[in-house]
């Protein structure tokens, strides 16, 4: 998965980048900087897990 696919997943999940950043324990500005260059697979996996968890919580409400 590419960084642009991560951003697309965030948007289609109805989330904001700051929410994902908060869920993984970083500042939203840091998250934006991370997305400027392709991330290592382990960071991508953590981000995707956070997106999925937040999306599930959002659906449960």
Residue 45 has pLDDT above 90, yes or no: yes
Do residues 7 and 48 lie in contact, with contact meaning Cβ atoms separated by under 8 Å?
no
Residue 1 has pLDDT above 90, yes or no: no
Tally the domains of the chain: 1
Whole domain around residue 41: which residue ranges? Answer: 3-60
Determine the straight-line distance between the first and last CA of the chain, rounded to whole angstroms: 28
Which pLDDT tens digit goes with each residue over 2-32? 999 999 999 999 999 999 999 999 999 999 9
Q: What is the largest CA-CA distance in the chain?
A: 34
Structure tokens at 31: 């998250």
CATH number at residue 25: 1.10.260
Q: What pLDDT does 61 receive?
A: 78
Do residues 5 and 46 lie in contact, with contact meaning Cβ atoms separated by under 8 Å?
no
Percent of the chain's residues with pLDDT above 90: 92
Measured CA to CA in angstroms, residue 56 lies from 31, 49, 61 at distances of: 21, 11, 9
More confident residue, 7 or 61: 7
């Amino acid at each position: 998965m590419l960084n642009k696919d991560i951003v697309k997943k965030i948007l289609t999940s109805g989330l904001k980048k700051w929410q994902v950043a908060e869920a993984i324990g970083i500042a939203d500005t840091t998250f934006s900087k991370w997305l400027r260059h392709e991330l290592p697979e382990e960071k991508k996996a953590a981000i995707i897990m956070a997106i999925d968890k937040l999306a599930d919580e959002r659906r449960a409400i």
